[in-house]
Amino acid sequence: MTRMGISLLGTILFATTLFTTASLLTGCSDSWNSPYPGSAKQTKTVYSAFSERPKHLDPARSYSSNEVEFTGQIYEPPLQYHFLKRPYTLIPLTAEAVPKPRFYDAAGKALPDDAPSAAIAESMYEIHIRPGIRYQPHPAFARDEAGRYRYHALDAAALADKTTLADFAHTGTRELTAADYVYQIKRLAHPGLSSPIFGLMSEHIVGLKELGATLEQAARARPDAVLNLNDYPLAGAEVVDRTTYRIRIKGKYPQFIYWLAMPFFAPVPWEAEAFFAQPGMADRNLTLDWQPVGTGPFYLAENDPNRRMVLKKNPYFHGESYPADGDAADRQANLLADAGKPLPLVDEAIFSLEKETIPYWSKFMQGYYDSSGISSDSFDQAVQFSARGEPQPTDSMRDKNIHLITTVAASIWYVGFNMLDPVVGGLGADRQKLRQALSIAFDYDEFISIFLNGRGIPAQGPIPPGLFGYVEGVAGLNPYVYQARGKQIVRRPLADAKKLLAEAGYPNGRHAKTGEPLVLYFDTMASGPDAKSRLDWMKKQLDKLGVQLVVRGTDYNRFQDKIRKGNAQLFEWGWNADYPDPENFFFLLYGPHKKVGTGGENAANYDNPEFNRLFEQMKDMDNGPARQKVIDAMLEIVRRDAPWIYAYYPKSFGLRHGWVHNVKPNLMANNTLKYRRVDPALRERQREAWNQPVLWPIALMLGGLIALIAPAAIAWRRRERTTA
Amino acid sequence: MFAYLLRRVLYAIPILIGVNLLTFALFFVVNTPDDMARLQLGAKHVTPEAIERWKSEHGYDKPLLINQAAEGRAQFTDTIFFQHSAAMFVFEFGKGDDGRDIGTEIRNRMGPSLAIALPVFVIGLLVNITFALLMVFFRATYLDLWGVVLCVVLMSISGLFYIIAGQYFIASLWKLLPISGFAGGINGLPFILLPVLVSVVAGIGGGSRWYRTIFIEEIGKDYVRTARAKGLSELRVLFRHVLKNGMIPILTGAVVVIPTLFMGSLITESFFGIPGLGSYTIDAIQAQDFAVVRAMVFLGSVLYIVGLILTDLSYSWVDPRVRLQ
């Protein structure tokens, strides 16, 4: 063998040996392609993924879905949403009962429940916590024999070998108290936490704004000192006794009850904050923001947001049972099979970081993830539509016992008109007609079909399905854009749009007096090939009316800036519900919440006094016929004024394997992991069957390499002989 | 030698300040502190007061480069640029906008980056040199011709294609290796193989062509003719003489990248789920996390300068005629 041949062969052998060794390493116990080498099998583990690492796990800060996916399982606010009931229903979590507000006038006199909103100066929520609830094991609670905290006075030497919480030998727990909830409400005002809801809550919770200012002053005065929130009282949150606390709200704010089901109002023990505030902790990324401490069914056992997060069953969990009060559809969907069983139904959940959709989908198809979304790349592989237009899994999915889950999100996408714009804005009849004409021309039924693979419902107004105020069928159609044909809802013909456009002063898309073409500007941050086809589609919609659409692409920051300053004309925007109440959508059109001037969420800067008046009335009402009547009147106004083109309510499609049970989309709840059940034996069998390695390509590759080397070696020998 | 090293280190300081200034300027041309605050606070319920609080908390409430309101030295020191840049020169990177310590993150992520980059570098170098020498050995034959064609074809294919094809065939279709992920210790080996294989294959075209050019140039020199005249075998000529004399340009390209191996690969790490410094940088750019972007650019610059110094040192090691003064 020649030296060159040896070198090449060595490389091949090296690669082959490495390959085989690695394969054998995994092959001893797992499939060769298992992404969980060495992990225990047949355990009640949920395998899931996250595409973006969470930024914050502090309940005062975490807000986005990729964060509450974790905090929702760890922290327990006083209330939660019922897993099965629809419409969404609040039930107690750590509270004894869902609190009913008591109302007081400006003199502090109690008012009846049906007191008019104007008379109510304050609402008071008294919350009773169930006794006996304990925190997860944590070193912050560990005490020595003398009862002193073991780890509350650590020096640099004691921290030297600590990099994770597992490095602390002792852990402890303690009972949850009402003071922990009050402590967390104060934390919302902490200047160092920048809680995203501080601005909103300081308008509602008595004294929270003042507390924020006080804490800010204190922090400025002593920048290096740790603020002890127990030293700063908050008028709007007080501890009554060990298990009772009260929250005082300015005026009436019925939607506040929904916030009590979010991690923002979950308890935080002062011990945890004191523990993490010690010098040297933050340098090791040991902070409350990254190491949550809760009473929930799971605790964060492994926290590596760069790779994987592991939730494990909290050994001190207070116990909760799977709900038994589902309806017939739930029973039929086998969602009541575990009724009454103690929660959680799994011991562990492994979330792996998966940024790209291709590996995510492949692993799901190989059985390494229990459930998956459906990207546009894999849509045709996963979903087909029946003759009646209903989505169903394809045959290849059914063969693998993969189930399709669909739900309409509590969200809306819309094209907003800047109501301050001189061309498309304003409340005059001509402008209304212009916007109505454009609303008809933008054929979102077509858009949903072309770009969303049917994953959406044309929107009839700002309220999405599933929320109080939404009316199904032809009774709930937007008469300015759609019309009824029997039980069908059909878009108005383009002739109607052209007529409206002419009445608006733009016959055939040209100004009636000057003859100038109507040119509109669409601001967007969308870019890339996918966006181009969508934007071309938008231009085409207005071409039908003879109106020109100029697309102004920009980056996220500039786009936000334009919207904030009111420099955009048309723009696309969306909203996800915070809670299941129409107020959470109508407030996007409430005049005093205009983006320009107030920085509110009303990006269209719509301001109709009649709508504003009805909004103020509606937001304080209880659900019922009277509220529906007001909502109907509001819908009529915003449909007529058309400050938005109501585009669509997105429909989310997901897939789950046959071994995953108790999956019912709940768009409000973020603590549903505890209800999930898996069949690990079936999963293991399926994984084994689906992941048998195909070995012939290795042989083929080796053969190919040899075929490549052989003529070279022969030629070399021939040449050596010749030169010799 | 020491004087030379000291001089190079001193030269590095203004370069690093310049790099910092440039990064700072480029970043803040695109993003204002208000934009950064909005991105961190989320899209909902963000009030102007919340933005001011965030900026104050993170030290972005100061002027960017010159503080007109301050006096004396504070005009320059009480600015975002100085406050966020000075500490980096002692490798104190501070915290990212997510509150995590950047130094700790870098230490944690260096290992996974190296786990991919080092084998790719070593194996890639070996394969490319071997393949290049093979082409040189068979120069002006059909083997050389098809070798070059193969290199050009390999060079012409996008790196992303290798990744997707590798993932599809090796992981999805043949189920030989995990498609993505990472694990520490020996369990990490299966996760490393595929990205290493893909990266090595993706680099063969360019690398082999480059080395072939070097060796072809060397093989025409007088000392090669002398070696052959002495009766040395072609293999000995190539591996003992040509390879050794071709080392200087190889070192130029190779040694300079050794320190930067720590920085990882942006795309490979992202696609294969490797929790290295490459994906850290990509995430920071997407999240407009200036603290991390700045730290990574600074670290990259430092490592590049170290690489250049090492290259100079290696010249004198490979070629005794080169003296560092």
The whole-angstrom separation of Cα A625 and Cα A636 is: 16
The string of pLDDT tens digits covering residues A460-498 is 999 999 899 999 999 999 999 999 998 899 999 999 999
User: Any chain B CB within 8 A of the CB of A203?
Assistant: no
**Cβ partners under 8 Å of residue A669, min gap 6:** A72, A80, A81, A83, A88, A261
CB contact under 8 A, A366 and B175: yes
User: B143 falls in which pLDDT band (50, 70, 90)?
Assistant: confident
- Give the residue from chain A lying closest to B93, CA to CA: A283
Q: Show residues of chain B in contact with A33, CB under 8 Å.
A: 171, 175-179, 190
User: Which residues, including other chains, have CB under 8 Å from residue B99's CB and lie 6 or more apart?
Assistant: A56, A282, A287, A289, A290
How much is the pLDDT for A19?
55
* A153 Cα to chain B: minimum distance (Å): 22
CB-closest option in A15, A560, A723 to B234:
A723
CB contact under 8 A, A715 and B41: no
In chain A, the residue whose alpha carbon lies closest to the alpha carbon of B166 is A359
Question: Minimal Cα distance from A29: which residue of B?
Answer: B187
Task: Please report, rounded to a whole number, the percentage of residues in chain A having pLDDT higher than 70.
Answer: 95
Residue A359 Cα, gap to closest chain B Cα (Å) = 6
> Cβ separation of B179 and A32 shorter than 8 Å?
no
Residues of chain A with C-beta less than 8 angstroms from the C-beta of B49: 199
Q: Which chain A residues are Cβ-neighbours of B198 within 8 angstroms?
A: none
The conformational region for residue A662 under phi > 0 = left, psi -120 to 50 = alpha, else beta, is left
pLDDT of A1: 43
Judged against a pLDDT cut of 70, whether residue A358 lies above it is answered with: yes
Top pLDDT among A24 and B20 is at: B20
Q: Is A702 on the interface with B (CB under 8 A)?
A: no
For residue B7, the distance in angstroms to the closest alpha carbon of chain A comes to 34
Which neighbouring-strand residues pair with A522?
A551, A570
Tokens (6 digits) for A665:
């989309």
Higher pLDDT, A249 or B50: A249
Closest chain B CA to residue A715: B138
Under an 8 A CB cutoff, do A22 and B190 touch? Answer: yes
Q: What is the pLDDT of residues A576-586, one digit of tens each?
A: 999 999 999 99
> A333, exposed or middle or buried, with CB in 10 Å at 0-12, 13-18, 19+?
middle
Q: Cβ contacts (< 8 Å) between B193 and chain A: which residues?
A: 18-19, 22
pLDDT digits (tens, 9 = 90+) for A98-140: 999 999 999 999 999 989 888 999 999 999 999 999 999 999 9
pLDDT at A39 over 80: no
CB contact under 8 A, B137 and A4: yes
Q: When comparing pLDDT for A433 and B219, which is higher? A: A433
In the predicted structure, residue A724 carries a pLDDT above the cut 50: no
* A24, A30, A55: best to mutate for the B interface, most B CBs within 10 A: A55
Q: How far is B316 from chain A (nearest CA, A)?
A: 28
CA distance to partner chain A, nearest, from residue B263 (Å): 15
To the nearest whole angstrom, how far is the Cα of B101 from the nearest Cα of chain A? 6
A5 contact B CB<8A: no
pLDDT band at A4 (very low <50, low <70, confident <90, very high): very low
Measured distance CA(B21)–CA(B23) in Å, rounded: 6
User: B44, A25: Cβ pair inside 8 Å?
Assistant: no
Note the pLDDT tens digit of each residue in A196-220: 899 889 999 999 999 999 999 998 8
CB contact under 8 A, A196 and B41: yes
Residue in chain A lying closest to B48 (CA) = A599
- DSSP letters, B159-189, are HHHHHHHHIIIIIIIS--S-SS---SGGGGH
Å between B314 CA and nearest CA of chain A: 25
A711 touches B: beta carbon within 8 Å: yes
Exposed (0-12), middle (13-18) or buried (19+): which is B185, by Cβ within 10 Å? Answer: exposed
Confidence of residue A31 (pLDDT cuts 50, 70, 90): confident
Tokens of residue B218, six digits: 């060397």
CA distance A361 to chain B (A): 10
What is the distance in angstroms between the Cα of B307 and the nearest Cα belonging to chain A?
27
User: Which residue among B40, B49, B101 places its CB closest to the CB of A285?
Assistant: B101
Q: Give whole-number Cα distances, A338 to A330, A345, A555, in Å.
A: 12, 9, 49
Tokens of A4: 């060159």
Of the candidates A11, A358, A578, which has its C-beta nearest B167's C-beta?
A358
Chain B nearest-CA distance from A35, in A, is: 5
Chain B interface includes A514 (CB < 8 A): no
Q: What is the pLDDT of residues A631-653, one digit of tens each?
A: 999 999 999 999 999 999 999 99
pLDDT tens-digit profile of B270-293? 889 999 998 898 888 888 888 898
Residues A25, B176: C-beta atoms closer than 8 Å? no
Contact B193, A17 (CB under 8 A): no
- Percentage of chain A with pLDDT > 90? 72
Answer yes or no: do B175 and A32 touch at CB < 8 A.
Answer: yes
Residue of B nearest to A23 (CA): B190
The answer to whether the CB of A396 falls within 8 A of the CB of A556 is no
Look at residue A27 in the predicted model and tell me its pLDDT.
Answer: 46
User: For chain B, how big is the Rg over CA atoms in Å?
Assistant: 25
pLDDT in tens, B301-317: 998 888 888 888 887 77
How far are the Cα atoms of A249, A492, B18, B158, B303 from residue A117, in angstroms, in the given order? 13, 41, 62, 65, 66
pLDDT band at A719 (very low <50, low <70, confident <90, very high): confident
Distance, in Å, from the CA atom of A438 to the CA atom of A543, rounded to the nearest integer, reads 11
- The residue in chain B having the minimum alpha-carbon distance to the alpha carbon of residue A366 is B172
**CB atoms B181 and A698 under 8 Å:** no
> Which residues, at least 6 apart from B168, have a Cβ–Cβ distance to it below 8 Å?
A358
pLDDT bucket at A360, cuts 50 / 70 / 90: very high
Mean pLDDT of the region A528-548:
90
User: Looking at chain B, which residue has its C-alpha nearest residue A15?
Assistant: B197
Q: Which residues contact A257 (CB under 8 A, 6 or more apart)?
A: A79, A90, A98, A99, A101, A125
Q: A198–B98: do the CB atoms touch at under 8 Å?
A: no
Q: Is residue A7 over pLDDT 70?
A: no
Window 221-280 of A: residues touching B by CB (8 A cutoff) are: none
Model confidence at B158: pLDDT above 50 = yes
Does A722 touch chain B if contact means CB atoms closer than 8 Å? no
ipTM: 0.85
> In angstroms, what CA-CA distances link B221 with B54, B245, B247?
66, 10, 15
Q: State whether residue A457 is helix, strand or coil.
A: strand
Query: CA B20 from chain center: how many Å?
Result: 18
B39: chain A residues, CB-CB within 8 Å = 556
pLDDT band at B187 (very low <50, low <70, confident <90, very high): confident
Please give the average per-residue pLDDT across B158-180, as a whole number: 93
Cβ atoms within 10 Å of A329's Cβ, excluding its own:
11
CA A274 to chain centre: 30
Q: How far apart are CA A215 and CA B92, in angstroms?
A: 28
Residue A552: pLDDT over 80:
yes
Could you give the 3-state DSSP secondary structure of residue A206?
coil
